[in-house]
Amino acid sequence: MALRLGDIAPDFEQDSSEGRIRFHEWLGDSWGVLFSHPADFTPVCTTELGLTAKLKDEFAKRGVKAIALSVDPVESHKEWIKDINETQNATVNFPILADGDRKVSQLYDMIHPNANETLTVRSLFVIDPKKKVRLIITYPASTGRNFNEILRVIDSLQLTDNHSVATPGNWQQGDDVVIVPSLKDEEVIKQKFPKGYKAVRPYLRMTPQPDK
């Protein structure tokens, strides 16, 4: 059965380019981004892993660990990492799972037979510190992911968890946010949002981003 938002991310133990990984233990209290690739030594994946490596500081300041996956073996991953580092002017600084037995791919429904019977699709999962799945995005193999969007969603999720707000369409850091409809007590609202808010409609209340 496919994973849904709010499900507990399945735990697993699998080999990787950085040794054996027990997933929940490896995550600890961090957020996680688990993302799959159709295969090693493929062009789009090479650019994505280089970009992820360059974003290490951005992930770190959000308390996020990145981990990649493909169905190729560890030895192949290690050779591919050399190519990634050289061609992308980067240093891969996160593990790549070697899912040769498709164990993780099956747990996370990463193999879509109508797309390809053996290779994983370009899936991505954001997992919170409680091990809940908070975002699922699946791209076609030909389309590289927008990691700025992944960071934007993580920022939005963390704002929601910490400040009882949601983010409007095309929201970026520093833009106004929406007070969640479930928050109705005016005294609580005044305490949580001392900068005030504008009620465009009773259900649409805009307020400056609380942590800025």
Q: Are 71 and 39 in contact (CB under 8 A)?
A: yes
Reference 38, options 98, 105, 122, 99; nearest CA is 122
**Per-position DSSP letters for 8-69, written without gaps between them:** BPPP-EE-BTTS-EEHHHHHTTSEEEEEE-S-SS-HHHHHHHHHHHHTHHHHHHTTEEEEEE
> Residue 133 belongs to what H/E stretch?
strand 133-139
Cα separation values, 2 from 10, 111, 198, Å: 11, 11, 40
SS3 126: strand
Active site residues per annotation: 45
Reference 96, options 117, 112, 73; nearest CA is 73
